Amino acid sequence: MRKVTKAVIPAAGFGTRFLPATKAVPKEMIPIVDTPTIQYIVEEAVNSGIKDILIITGRGKDAIMNHFDNSFELETVLERENKTELLKAVREVSQMVDVHFIRQKEQKGLGHAVSYAKQFAAGEPIAVMLGDDVVVNDKKPCLKQMIDKYEELGGSILGVQTVDHSQVSKYGIVDGEKISDRTYKVNSLVEKPRPEDAPTDVAILGRYIITPGIFECLERTPKGAGGEIQLTDALFLLAEHEPVYAYDFEGKRYDVGNKMGFLQATVEFALRREDLRDEFSEYLKNLNAQL
């Protein structure tokens, strides 16, 4: 079985839920505390054993490229001023992993974005990671859990968790049979169903391991929900040819593509930081007393 060493991060969306910030700043560069959301995703990939990352970008997304590049002038200044911790942080980002970029020329949907990864995948399975979902698991990163599942089962793996029934229309929803603890074999998939039409509340949450057969399926996928070429629809076609599984990953997931999820992540990540925890929790306690 081919090992999963490549990850694709689609980041070409307009980020309309974060306008006006995303007019000039890519949504993926909006920081949680002091780190852009896309860096958390790249760190999860690296900590899961990924060696190469392809970021699908679009117009107005150059800041993402700059973030993962060397910054010679900045490093020189930090070195001269003996700011070693900051220098380390800045250097680490550019040295973490090989990051490649390709532009999606028209925003025709997530499935269309992933089809740009065909050459990069070169016949190997790929991880697909969406920046809207940041998952915290201090023991084993979400993606590593999924790679382990892939190595056990040998088919595509969709990262899922159960969501509130009222929320199903935001996600791809899985209908399947449970084959073991936390694992389902997928029978059908539906993108963004109305709650009354949803077969289950098991939602795909921004993490996938996908076998190379997906690219041929993407070519055959017509426009779906929202007039976009949906990855979920292509995965459903794939499931007709080969087994596709869903894995209920362990970890706290933040929907940072939405304002409420983003605020929760900001507060909780700050509380996990040693340099901020005491002062910030004191502030929150005082604030709470005033509410």
Instruction: Rank residues 125 and 172 by Cβ distance to ligand UTP and give the closer one.
Output: 172
Nearest-CB residue for ligand UTP: 13
**The two structure tokens encoding residue 276:** 């901020």
Instruction: For the CB of residue 187, give the shortest distance to ligand UTP in the complex, in Å.
Output: 24
Instruction: Rank residues 208 and 269 by Cβ distance to ligand UTP and give the closer one.
Output: 208
Question: Which candidate, 64, 7, 70, places its Cα nearest to that of 38?
Answer: 64
Question: Which candidate, 244, 252, 246, 290, places its Cα nearest to that of 272?
Answer: 252
Q: Which parts of this chain interact with ligand UTP (CB under 6 A)? A: 10-17, 27, 56, 104, 107-110, 112-113, 130-132, 257
Q: CA angle, 235 as apex, 50 and 247 as ends, to 5°?
A: 60
The residue behind tokens 């200044």 is 77
String of DSSP letters for 213-243: THHHHHHTPPP-GGGS--HHHHHHHHHHHS-
What DSSP state is assigned to residue 34?
T
The residue behind tokens 């921004």 is 206
Instruction: For the CB of residue 109, give the shortest distance to ligand UTP in the complex, in Å.
Output: 5
The residue behind tokens 């017509």 is 222
- 3-state class of 25 per DSSP? coil
Instruction: Tell me how far apart the alpha carbons of residues 241 and 243 are, in angstroms, rounded to a whole number.
Output: 7
Instruction: Rank residues 47 and 107 by Cβ distance to ligand UTP and give the closer one.
Output: 107
Instruction: For the CB of residue 104, give the shortest distance to ligand UTP in the complex, in Å.
Output: 5
Instruction: Rank residues 141 and 257 by Cβ distance to ligand UTP and give the closer one.
Output: 257
Instruction: For the CB of residue 223, give the shortest distance to ligand UTP in the complex, in Å.
Output: 12
Instruction: For the CB of residue 100, give the shortest distance to ligand UTP in the complex, in Å.
Output: 15
Instruction: Rank residues 55 and 270 by Cβ distance to ligand UTP and give the closer one.
Output: 55
